[in-house]
Amino acid sequence: QVVKSVDDFLSPADKLRGIFLQKFCGKSAVFNALNGVQVELNDELLVKVMNEGNLSGDSIVLFFNWALDQPNVSEKVSIYNSTIKALGKRKFFKHMMQVLNGMKDKAISPNADTLFIVMNSYLRARQVSKAVKIFGELEKYGFQSNSGTISVALNCLSRHSYVGAACSLFNKLRQKSRQRDCSIYNIMIGGWSKMGRISQVERLVKLMVDDGVDPDCITYSHVIEVFGRAGRVDSAIEIFKHLEEKGNSTLSPEVYNAVIFSCLANDKADEGLKYYEEMQRKGFDPNAKTYTGVISSLLRIRKVADAIEMFDEMVSKEMIPSAGTLTKFIEPLCRYGPPHAALMIYSRARKAGCLVSDSAYKLLLMRLGRFGKCGMLLKIWEESGYPCDLKVYEYMINGLCNVGKLETAVVVMEDCVQRGLFPGKIICSKLKNKLMSSGKVEIAYKLFLKLRNARAEENARRYWRSKGWHF
């Protein structure tokens, strides 16, 4: 009954993962234990169990094999892809290939996503030769060799900056096949473009034309981008003007993005904004990439009012930035000046329904604490819904010290210590020095004693827990 009552507090995923903490002998014993867990397994729960926690490669494969026999788990490619991704993320490559081979045994054909996950797993671990070898043995693992899988392989290599390896693979494929696909050339040109290699981009464009493939808008955008990255913004503008003379058939939002970003990256903000306005006049709607790039560049050169105006325009067109993009906007605003502009972006983002990340909240709190705006700090943290942690307490104590509310800072410090959180030496020293300089020696001494006793208890607790005792 006690065990049953404890299990009631665990989530279904934790109950299933808990089986692997026990040392069962044999596969059948593990399967019987999993069958004894009163949990209705489905696709979503299966992925959650594998992605979270700290299961070994053997445990993940064993759990996956058991899950396939459950009635509510579908034996689809997406489920295999999720399992391969969970194994590859933890660098369990032997088990990852075991699951991939199991797909072929069960007559389930892997798709382009499967190839991307497998190659990406090896490339993240810097095992380039193994990733290329997988592509060389597509048929062995049940993949189809077509333009889709070629694009995935080249894109994966270029994405991880292994453009040289992608180029070698591209040359081999070009010699074997007479089929010419513009998208494959664009992947290679885009890879060299991101590295600012003008000579390689020019070589591939010439090769593309010689092979009878017409460059498209994506090709032109990569060519403009590489000149911008190399600092030759005048050449990038010259290419763009040459395309304008040809007419709208050679222009696209991607081409305009390339010339705008080239100008902004080379400290020509006014010219970049001119092309942004021209883009709209000619009927090309800015996309999310346009807004993100322009706003980030405006914030970098401290044109905050223009950036906020453009953010309002972006949100009004229902282009909701991701949590990472929003953090990217807030971060530079928290480096200079008062937090007013950062708060404006934050309030507009929340009103539009954007997800605000934990790190974005902490950037705001740090800036508010530095300016002593503790009331606003508490209000924003309550809005966040994230659990209170050490950093939040440190920002709060710092803000209270800055405005001279030392008694309140002491109360916050005591609450922090009671929760088992211990602020860093800098914050503790700052509060102690402020109290001493204000003549509140007795309060400073009592706080010192509380901190010393709490640390001693915490150290004792950690020691006994390391020995297997819990209290």
Confirm if 275 and 256 have CB atoms less than 8 A apart.
yes
Q: What angle do CA 320, 315, 384 make, to 5 degrees?
A: 60
Rg (CA), the chain: 29
Query: What is the SS3 assignment for 139?
Result: helix
Sequence length of the chain is 471
Q: Which of 171, 175, 173, 166 is nearest to 197 (CA)?
A: 166
Confirm if 228 and 261 have CB atoms less than 8 A apart.
yes
Give the whole-angstrom CA distance, residue 158 versus residue 307. 32
Check residue 6 and give its pLDDT.
52
Check residue 3 and give its pLDDT.
47
Cα four-point dihedral sign 263, 269, 271, 274: positive
Ordered DSSP codes for 248-272:
GGG--HHHHHHHHHHHHHTT-HHHH
Query: What is the SS3 assignment for 363?
Result: helix
Residue 8 has, within 13 A of its CA and on its CB side, a CA count of: 5
Q: What angle do CA 356, 361, 363 make, to 5 degrees?
A: 125
Q: What angle do CA 188, 289, 341 make, to 5 degrees?
A: 140
SS3 sequence of 126-140: CCHHHHHHHHHCCHH
Cα dihedral 19, 23, 24, 25 in deg (nearest 10)? 160
Confirm if 276 and 286 have CB atoms less than 8 A apart.
yes
Tokens of 239: 């290419």
Confirm if 249 and 217 have CB atoms less than 8 A apart.
no
Check residue 199 and give its pLDDT.
92
Q: Is 318 left (phi over 0), alpha (psi -120 to 50) or beta?
A: left
First to last CA, the chain: 22
Number of H helices, E strands in the chain: 27, 0
Task: Give the largest CA-CA distance in the chain.
Answer: 86
Helix (H) or strand (E) holding 310: helix 304-316
pTM over 0.85: no
Cβ neighbours for 415, distance < 8 A, ≥ 6 positions apart: 393
Cβ neighbours for 261, distance < 8 A, ≥ 6 positions apart: 225, 228, 272, 293, 297
Ordered DSSP codes for 162-193:
-HHHHHHHHHHHHHH-----HHHHHHHHHHHH
Query: What is the SS3 assignment for 75?
Result: coil
Give the whole-angstrom CA distance, residue 177 versus residue 399. 66
pLDDT along the chain (471 residues), means of 10: 55 83 81 83 88 87 88 86 93 93 87 93 94 90 86 92 91 77 90 91 92 89 92 91 82 91 88 90 90 91 90 91 92 87 91 89 88 84 81 87 88 87 88 90 89 86 73 50
Give the whole-angstrom CA distance, residue 439 versus residue 304. 43
| CA distances in angstroms from 298 to 26, 273, 289, listed in the order given | 62, 10, 14
Tokens of 245: 């003379």
Angle between helices 323-333 and 304-316 (to 10 degrees): 160
Helix, strand, coil tally for the chain in percent (to 5): 75, 0, 25
